[in-house]
Amino acid sequence: MRNRDNPLSALDLEEKVDEAIARGIRRGQKALRRRRLLGRLGTGVAAGLLAVIIIGGFSIRVSPVFAAMVREIPGMEKFVDLIRRSHDKGVQLAVDHDLLQPVGASDEKDGIKFTVQGIIADHTRMVLFYDIEFSGEGEYAELEPAFTDVHGQRLGVSIAYNYPEESMEEVRKSRIQRGTMDVSLPADAKFPDEVVLQVRLKRKMLPDPNQPPRAARTWDEWGGPAQRGNETVGTEFQIPFRIDHAKFEHLTRQFMIHETLDIEGQKVIFDKVVLSPLSAAVHLTYPESNTKQIFDPGDIRLVDDQGIEWRQTSGYSAKDHLVLYFESPYFKKTETLYIEGSWFRALDKDKLDVLIDLDKQEIIQAPDEKLSLKGVIRTREHIRLDFELSGLDAEDRMMYSLFEHVVTDAAGIKYDEVSETGVSHSEGSDKLQIRFYLMNKPYKQPIKMTINHYPQYIRQPYKIQIR
């Protein structure tokens, strides 16, 4: 990242990056780190920031009942198109069945008004509709959201939210930026009756429509989320609002499965499926007797008897347990649901630890030749590690987080201060570039990092009937 032609500015930039990363590491939440969000992330996730996903999928039609109900609620009429673009069949069915809750709570600072217009919620998930009104022209905002209870205790949720790129022209004309947040709870957790949305907005200027678009930035130009986040400090908003649990209190169905798959000598137990209006939660267990650590299924699908596939939205994993969330067919009249797939990610348990000599800048022990270390760069406060992961299967679309956020040195001292700042992937390539930061300390060499996902596979087709 050092610019040889301008060493002073490069040093200043390096110091700023160091400071931003340090703040991110200090803000890191250990409880959130213990739960791994599954799915392909298009951008890196820094320590302390909640995972961000851009929601996508195939297009379906918004029902006339759905559109009419949303448009009749003050403040919500403009969100019909946003809901359509979310492509979530379960959300649209939930609105058709009167689960939309108007909110209309706002906070206003520095010429910006942030409003939570409404929510749809159930036991595991909440979809929130917001708008941001600017006093100045040509502005939009990037978001850093989090949720707490009324006592300030942070909720261990994952948050997916959309950026305004698809509606820049609308923002330019109206000075209003609209979006959705998709908030998922971990298994066995629940939303309190009242929550507080804490969101930091970073004001940006809309690109000039008369200028040609800038070429895509390279990996080093981005410098990771810590550098991007240092562009502006941002304005913080707090919006408390209530969740009406009575709307969904009794809307759950549980289907016990207890079916075991034997895949290349490894066992996977499908325990149960829990349906609620916004989610279908599939629970899996991996017996301790397995010789491989199974991470997750690579191509699992939820399909009904009409051949309609209900898209996977998120998931949480632990060492021996996994919960995957799908769009919900709760309100869809189907006779039968099936879980289908053909392969899992799995790695021998005795290959989970990777040994790295930072002084020699080399990997001493790795699962196989797929993992390589491309560089070790030291700054005043941090050590940057650049890894490459190659040989990914063509069907494998995961952006691998790769390691747990704990490093152990040769003296057995554990340091819970690893920050993954991003994953880079070129379309059509079987390689990923993964960047990590450690605090710059005198670790006794070699250090040990533990794998939490890896591109090795076990395969066997399966089709399990749920009901």
Residue 457, phi then psi, degrees to nearest 5: -135, 150
DSSP labels for 320-332?
SEEEEEE---TTS
Q: What is the pTM of this model?
A: 0.76
Return d(Cα 186, Cα 164) in angstroms, integer.
27
Nearest in space to 255 (alpha carbons), one of 7, 466, 44, 14: 466
Q: What is the pLDDT along the chain (467 residues), one digit of tens a residue?
A: 333 334 344 444 444 444 444 444 434 333 333 333 333 332 222 222 223 332 232 233 344 554 555 556 555 556 555 565 556 788 888 877 888 898 999 999 999 999 999 899 998 899 998 999 999 888 888 889 999 999 999 998 888 876 555 567 788 888 989 888 999 888 778 999 999 999 999 888 887 767 665 554 444 444 443 443 344 468 999 999 999 999 999 999 999 999 999 999 999 999 999 999 999 999 999 999 999 999 999 999 999 999 999 999 888 887 899 999 999 999 988 889 999 999 999 999 999 999 999 999 999 999 999 999 999 999 888 999 999 999 888 889 888 888 988 999 999 999 987 776 677 776 767 888 899 899 999 999 999 999 999 999 999 999 999 97
Evaluate whether 253-344+458-465 and 350-456 have a shared fold.
yes
Write phi, then psi, for 463 (nearest 5 degrees): -145, 115
pLDDT for the residue numbered 168: 78
Task: Give me the pLDDT at residue 214, please.
Answer: 55
Q: Where are the domains of the chain?
A: 40-208+223-247, 253-344+458-465, 350-456
What is residue 69's DSSP assignment?
Answer: H
Q: Topology of 350-456 in CATH?
A: Immunoglobulin-like (2.60.40)
Mean pLDDT (the chain, rounded)? 79
Rounded-to-integer distance, Cα 422 and Cα 293, Å: 24
- Cross-strand partners of 199: 145, 237
Q: Is the dihedral of CA 444, 353, 380, 29 positive or negative?
A: negative
Give the homologous superfamily in CATH for domain 40-208+223-247. Conserved domain protein. (2.60.40.1640)
Tokens (6 digits) for 7: 């060493």
Contact by Cβ (8 Å): 343, 459:
yes
pLDDT attached to residue 373: 96
pLDDT digits (tens, 9 = 90+) for 31-85: 333 333 333 332 222 222 223 332 232 233 344 554 555 556 555 556 555 565 5
Residue-level pLDDT at 271: 97
Backbone angles phi and psi of 21, in degrees to 5: -65, -40
CATH superfamily assigned to domain 253-344+458-465: Conserved domain protein. (2.60.40.1640)
Residue the block writes with tokens 């079987």: 430
Spatial distance between the Cα atoms of 288 and 267, rounded to a whole number of angstroms: 9
Q: Are 133 and 258 in contact (CB under 8 A)?
A: no
Question: 64-71 and 89-96 are packed helices; what angle lies between their axes, rounded to 10 degrees?
Answer: 70
pLDDT in tens, 183-217: 988 877 899 999 999 999 988 888 776 766 555 44
CA quadruple 133, 134, 140, 145: dihedral sign: negative
Q: How far is CA 407 from CA 31, 53, 128, 366, in A?
A: 17, 27, 37, 15
Token pair of 160 as six digits: 């997916």
How far apart (Å, rounded) are the C-alpha atoms in residues 300 and 274?
A: 16
pLDDT in tens, 296-339: 999 999 999 999 999 998 888 878 999 999 999 999 888 899 99
Contact 400, 342 (CB under 8 A): no
